[in-house]
Amino acid sequence: MDGDIRLWDIASRRTVCQFPGHQGAVQGLAVSTDGRVLVSCGTDSTVRLWGVPVSTLLEEDVSSDKSAVPLETYVWKNAFRAVDHQWNFDRFATGGAGVDIWNHNRSAPEQSFEWGTDTVVSIKFNPGQPDILATSASDRSIAIYDLRMGKPAAKFIMRTRTNSISWNPMEPINFTAANEDSNCYSFDSRKLNEAKCVHKDHVSAVMDIDYSPTGREFVTGSYDRTVRIFQYNGGHSREIYHTKRMQRVFCVKFSCDASYVISGSDDTNLRLWKAKASEQLGVLLPREQKKHEYNEAVKNRYKHLPEVKRIVRHRHLPKPVYKAAATLREMTESRRKKHEKRKAHSAPGSIIEEPLRKRKIIKVE
């Protein structure tokens, strides 16, 4: 919230470089595909381009000045809430009162889009089609824009707001939305009238989401102070991370090698987690590698047994999360019983039953 941007060396846990300049909260950060340019935006209605120092990653001199100077500063009419850089090109998009497309070499937006939306809170370029981007707004809408057409391509409205969006890097037609109703919804961009999969387990609003580079799983951070990892087609999480001191999680990221997860929470701390909690770090001897492979094969062979399944799935939950999950299950069961009684005492065909994948979508435009 103080406008401070830092580049960290994870191995030594030290600040490599600072990027001062913003006069208010920094709402969005994005890096170009080659990793040389950092784009930041904030509530001070400015977008700043920074050069990412590569050589300083190897320097040990901590006494030198680590502050960077912005390459460009763009001042605009409205505050910004989100930014994302286009894949392999010199353009980036910002979200706020509308969607603006910028070029590194121009001081004003190349294109601007408005589709009757409220404030845009999340924006993401498609990794397979660089000219396609998806946005979510505070009016509960999710919109897809095509820069080649110069106009919006599709839009639908959900029952609750979507806080963040992430495209699947291996299947770029699919994206997953982190929603306020504590669920995540995976969509096929060609068929937006229903979700492909509903990912449950969080007990409060999901604030951020990011896909693994493998495209097989994604990580979510929630207002319930937990970080969860889901399979891309799984309804429930395979892993949950929490600590006593970690507060509400507002941002999460997968590392580029899919081995680590980074989370940022309300207690002003960054935390580094292993993507596989039981994975052994460091170099493995051949016999250690064979032992791990044998153990995985045994678990896979007997995974259908109830005893093995319970051990594999069991995770310790914090007491507030455990109680909230029990309350949520009770409420869901109560709604289900009420719906069944209403259906039983109504005329046949008068009550239409919709699956959850369709029920959460109000309108497709």
**Distance between CA atoms of 107 and 192, rounded to whole angstroms?**
35
Query: What is the average per-residue pLDDT within 116-126?
Result: 88
Confidence of residue 107 (pLDDT cuts 50, 70, 90): confident
Q: Is residue 180 part of a domain?
A: yes
Residue 18 backbone dihedrals phi, psi, to 5 degrees: -115, 150
Q: Return d(Cα 8, Cα 216) in angstroms, integer.
A: 27
pLDDT at 216: 95
> What percent of the chain clears pLDDT 90, i.e. is strictly above it?
69
Q: Residue type at 221?
A: G
- pTM of the complete model: 0.90
To 5 degrees, how large is the angle CA 78–CA 82–CA 84? 120
pLDDT value, residue 59? 53
Give the gyration radius of the chain's Cα atoms: 22
The length of the chain is 365
State the residue for tokens 């799984």: 234
- Residue holding tokens 């951020």? 208
Is residue 212 in some structural domain?
Answer: yes
pLDDT exceeding 70 applies to what percent of the chain?
96
| Neighbouring C-beta atoms of residue 315, cutoff 10 Å | 14
Question: Using one digit for the tens of pLDDT, what is the confidence trace for 338-365?
Answer: 999 999 999 988 888 888 899 999 989 8
The answer to whether residue 331 is domain-embedded is no
Residue 240 domain flag = yes
Structural contact between residues 266 and 304, judged by C-beta atoms closer than 8 angstroms: no
Number of other CB atoms surrounding residue 314 within 10 Å: 8
Q: CA 45 → CA 101, 105, 148, 161, distances in Å?
A: 15, 19, 27, 24
For residue 286, name the pLDDT band (cuts at 50, 70, 90): very high
pLDDT score recorded for residue 2: 77
Residue 63 maps to a domain: yes
- Residue 277 inside a domain? The answer is yes
Question: What's the sign of the alpha-carbon dihedral 243, 299, 305, 214?
Answer: positive
pLDDT digits (tens, 9 = 90+) for 295-315: 999 999 999 999 999 998 899
Predicted local confidence at residue 67, as pLDDT? 78
Question: What pLDDT band is residue 218 in, cutting at 50, 70 and 90?
Answer: very high
Q: 3-class SS at 237?
A: strand
pLDDT above 80: residue 274: yes
Q: Which of 106-115, 183-192, 270-279, 289-298 has the lowest average pLDDT?
A: 106-115
Angle in degrees, CA 305, 307, 308, rounded to 5: 65
pLDDT band per the 50, 70, 90 thresholds, residue 56: very low
Residue 316 and residue 322: Cα distance in Å, rounded?
9
Give the pLDDT confidence score for residue 57 in this predicted structure.
45
81-94 average pLDDT score: 92
Q: What is the DSSP letter of 56?
A: G
Domain count, the chain: 1
Give the separation between CA 123 and CA 27, rounded to whole angstroms. 12
Mean pLDDT of the chain: 90
Span 51-59, mean pLDDT? 66
Question: Which range of residues forms the domain containing residue 273?
Answer: 4-286
DSSP three-state, residue 327: helix
**β-bridge partners, 37:** 51
> What local confidence, expressed as pLDDT, does residue 317 receive?
92
230 lies in some domain: yes
At 63, the pLDDT band (50, 70, 90 cuts) reads very low
* Predicted local confidence at residue 64, as pLDDT: 53
CATH code of the domain containing 49: 2.130.10.10
**Locate tokens 């409420």: which residue?**
331
User: How distant is the alpha carbon of residue 223 from its chain centre?
Assistant: 13
Query: Hey, what amino acid is at 88?
Result: N
**208 in helix, strand or coil?**
strand
